[in-house]
Structure 1
Amino acid sequence: MAKKKEQEVAKKLYVELYKTQKEIAEDLGVTEKTVGDWVKKFNWKQERDARLNNSTNRAENIKKVIAGLTDSALDVLEQIKVAEFNGDKEEALRLKKESTRIAQEVGMFQKSLEKMDKEFKISLSTYLEVMEDIFQALQNYDKQAYLATLDFQKTHLQSIAQKLG
């Protein structure tokens, strides 16, 4: 039983908290090979990769890049003002080119973000189908839990229908 609990903890640490196999082994007092065997046997790497590469994480990463570029653009604009004030036309021109390059990059990342939003948006019918499968599985697994969630199911599906419909 302890092995099963260790596996559950190891999976959470690996898949959700992105710890290394070595860190997990040290935390749980097992060998790194044991953790590696679990990762391989239970396909944790694929699950972790899927979580890391989901549309939400990718969109957040793109937003961070855009924010960084925006900060850089503001810095360059300040530098342009200084160069113009000092009469350094060459430096002002170089900085204006840099500002244009940054603006083009921001536009490119914005387009990527919009494209991702369109590609990864799930249809209401697909969402409802998946949720019905989950609710049916819950009913088959634990009828009491299913019955206890009926109000949640109704509220949740109405909320999603408003969002996606």
Structure 2
Amino acid sequence: MRLYTLNMYESLTWHYAQNENWEKAYKTRIIVNQLATDYDAGNQSGKIQSLEREILNKRNDLELRNQKNIKFFLGTTSVIFIILLLVLFKLYKTNQEKRKLVENENNRIRAKLSDLMNKVNDKEITLSNYQLSDRQLEIIDLVKKGLTNKEIATQLYISENTVKYHLKIIYNTLGIDSRNSL
């Protein structure tokens, strides 16, 4: 609105000057100068441009800060992800090594067990090489079935001491020291 008022007084000044009414032209010129000073359009637009520049600079600074934060976040996340992958890879390799060691140990134990079973089978076969009586062979069979001395005595209709006596002879003959070795 001030701009229109200023323009109107400017036109009046020009009109009075054209009509050679110098006194009114002078008075309106003073009013125009006063209004122009108050309005100062160039200065007002300069302030607006200055504010726009300041806002633009702040926006650019904010965008740069955001880009730096995003780069930092992505970099940190990438490093953490790489470290996590390395740890998982190391755990995987360690687990593989442990599994191989367990498999090797398992195979070794199976082979040893197989050897022991073969030796036990060989001992069973070699029982015929020892000169054992029929009664002693019966007692060995009953011991292998897991019967106690008392149960063996009851089944064979002999005393428990006789069973113990036969077991002692069997142990000495076979060179073993317990019934679990039969």
TM-score normalised by structure 1 residue count: 0.31
Q: Which has the larger radius of gyration?
A: 2
Considering Cα pairs closer than 8 Å and 6+ residues apart, tell me whether 1 or 2 has the greater RCO.
1
